[in-house]
Amino acid sequence: VFCSMAGEDFFLEEKRFKQYCEDFVKHSQQIGDGWEWRTSKDLPDGYLSKTHFQVRNRHIPPDLKEKNNDSTEQMLFAHAEEPSDDSQAAGVCSTEDVVRYEYHVLYSSSYQVPVLYFRACFLDGRPLTLDEIWGSVHASYQDRLQEGPWDTITQQEHPILGQPFFVLHPCRTNEFISAVLGGSQEHLRHTNYIILWLSTVGPVVGLNLPLSYAKLAPEQSTDADLT
Amino acid sequence: MTDDKDVLRDVWFGRIPTCFTLYQDEITEREAEPYYLLLPRISYLTLVTDKVKKHFQKVMRQEEVSEIWFEYEGTPLKWHYPIGLLFDLHASNTALPWSITVHFKNFPEKDLLHCHSKDVIEAHFMACIKEADALKHKSQVINEMQKKDHKQLWMGLQNDKFEQFWAINRKLMEYSPEDNGFRYIPFRIYQATTERPFIQKLFRPIASGGQLHTLGDLLKDVCPSAITPEDGEQKTQVMIHGIEPMLETPIQWLSEHMSYPDNFLHISIIPRPTD
């Protein structure tokens, strides 16, 4: 699959990316969603970052993975159950069961779009493989993975931290953003690109945005500064 | 005067004499001899070390062998960086041969990407080429090519076939006559001392007045600490493919002639040796 820059009208300038991120973080702080903006020491660029912990149920019966129903998600993200009397299990989750997820949104100056980097590890530091991460995503999103505006998720070096992360390939972002926003520049000016984009790509990798983000009104100054 | 095309050949055929030694804590059935190899500067470690792997696996038990990885003086070597870049960045002012330690256990998950097959290398290589063309031509040239042209770039690299590679790559080095160069220059600047792995920014090869930007202009804009003040002693070297190009060199020329096969200029800023 080739990358297309056909949607050039909808490329995201870096200044605008930063402004959308700023608005995004403000809202996140209001609702306690845990996003923050991180900068690097030596250069003025930065990225959005969110870390969250989830308890994974160790004993996922094989047939549950194939069922496409809500109870699957409940099972997968359930809090640890009390051990039965005759089991040897400790009363608290072992470090095996708690997974630390990290999501970063960076700006790609080459493609002029945001890019989602993510990784997950157990508390003892053992990283999850891509399959293990996918395994914990709601089954209905696994289908969507086939048709989404991303043909690959690959392991890549994080351009600021220099560590391995998984990355949704960015080159078709323009395609689906253009499709969603239609032909009107007017629409673009009133939409937070980051919210639009993240709400689409996020759930595929286990990242959900509360609905209140959709009500985010652009600040008047945003448009004025950037025209 | 050397023809510009000779530069392309010199870049392609650059080699680094290397000595591979098995890490002392690996468990062997008999002693492992070091293995010597001339590494192509323009290729990738995991693409050219099959013989190294076979050599050491001969003295090890199957169960002791998992994914191979390489280290130099305690630093895990990133296989997804070209070999010449790794050498310039970490070992250019040390005695040859380059001594690399080979590991088969305890893969450093926090530092290195996995490389389970040649497909992973190919995917990485092609992703770099595509990104470079997004910068140079808004992806127009790479998108117009057929799948078999893409394959030819990869096969040319894999099989060390200069003519095969450049038959296709020359198209990625063209630009229309009304422009005087690429839209932006694909480059990355590396310094071993920083936490950030590299610096990459948008940079135009031609100034608004039409003059050609130079390597010095690029560094001033993107990494000014690499260029010391005029009255100071030059504390750093700016190295590409083992040489220090003059700072007056037009960056457009460097991009066309001294890029790696992935179409990026990989530039190392290293401490100048004091002798």
d(CA B145, CA B171): 9
More reliable by pLDDT, A136 or A168: A168
Angle at A19 between CA A16 and CA A23, to 5 degrees: 140
Q: Using a CB–CB cutoff of 8 Å, tell me whether A46 touches chain B.
A: no
Q: What is the pLDDT of residue A56?
A: 72
* pLDDT of res. B262: 98
CA distance A157 to chain B (A): 7
Residue A74 pLDDT more than 70?
no
CA distance A140 to B271: 53
Q: What is the pLDDT of residues A50-62, one digit of tens each?
A: 998 888 765 444 4
| Contact (CB, 8 A) for A118 and A205 | yes
- Chain A residues in contact with B111 by the CB 8 A cut-off are 163-164
Rg of chain B on CA atoms, in Å? 20
Quote the CA–CA distance of A9 and B175 in Å, as a whole number: 23
Q: How confident is the model at residue A184 (pLDDT cuts 50, 70, 90)?
A: low
Which residues make Cβ contacts (< 8 Å) with residue A226, sequence separation at least 6? A13, A15, A16, A19
Full-model pTM: 0.86
The pLDDT of residue A16 is above 70: yes
Q: Does an H or E element contain A98, and which? A: strand A98-108
pLDDT at residue A138, rounded to an integer:
61
- ipTM for the whole complex: 0.92
Using CB atoms, pick whichever of A111, A158, A164 lies closest to residue B134.
A111
Query: Which stretches of chain B drop beneath a pLDDT of 70?
Result: 1-2, 228-232, 275
Domain boundaries, chain A: 14-56+95-214
Residue A121 known to be catalytic: no
Smallest CA–CA separation between B65 and chain A, in Å? 19
> Which pLDDT does position A131 carry in this prediction?
77
Q: Band of the pLDDT at A193, cuts 50, 70, 90? A: confident
A114 pLDDT more than 70: yes
CA atoms within 13 A on the CB side of B67: 13
Average pLDDT over residues A105-122: 93
Measure the CA–CA gap between B102 and B104, rounded to whole angstroms.
7
pLDDT at A64 over 70: no
Q: 3-class secondary structure for chain B? A: CCCHHHHHHHHHCCEEEEEEEECCCCCECCCCCCEEEEEECCCCHHHHCHHHHHHHHCCECHHHCCCCEEEECCEECCCCCCHHHHHHHHHCCCCCCEEEEEECCCCCCCCCCCCCCHHHHHHHHHHHHHHHHHHHHCCHHHHHCCHHHHHHHHHHHHCCCHHHHHHHHHHHCCCCCCCCCCCCCCEEEEECCCCCCCECCCCCCECCCCCECEHHHHHHHHCHHHCCCCCCCCCEEEEECCECCCCCCEHHHHHHHHCCCCCCEEEEEEECCCC
pLDDT band per the 50, 70, 90 thresholds, residue A73? very low
Closest CB from A5, A40, A157 relative to B134? A5
Domains with residue ranges and CATH for chain B: 12-103 (3.10.20.620), 117-174 (1.10.246.190), 176-274 (3.10.20.90)
Q: What percent of chain A has pLDDT over 90?
A: 30
Mean pLDDT of A21-42: 92
Neighbours of B108 (CB within 10 A): 12
pLDDT: which is higher, A212 or B253: B253
What phi and psi values does residue A90 have, to the nearest 5 degrees? Answer: -70, 160
Give residue A137's pLDDT: 67
Is B134 in contact with A42 (Cβ distance < 8 A)? no
Residue A140: pLDDT over 70: no
pLDDT value at residue A125: 86
Least confident interval from A139-148, A172-181, B83-92, B117-126: A139-148
- pLDDT bracket for residue A12 (50, 70, 90): confident
Task: Please state, in angstroms and rounded to a whole number, the distance separating the CA atoms of residues A129 and A170.
Answer: 21
Predicted local confidence at residue B201, as pLDDT? 95
Contact A2 B78 (CB under 8 A): no
CATH architecture assigned to A14-56+95-214: 2-Layer Sandwich (3.30)
Put simply, the chain A residues between 88 and 127 with a CB less than 8 A from any chain B CB are 109-111, 125-127
What's the pLDDT at B22? 97
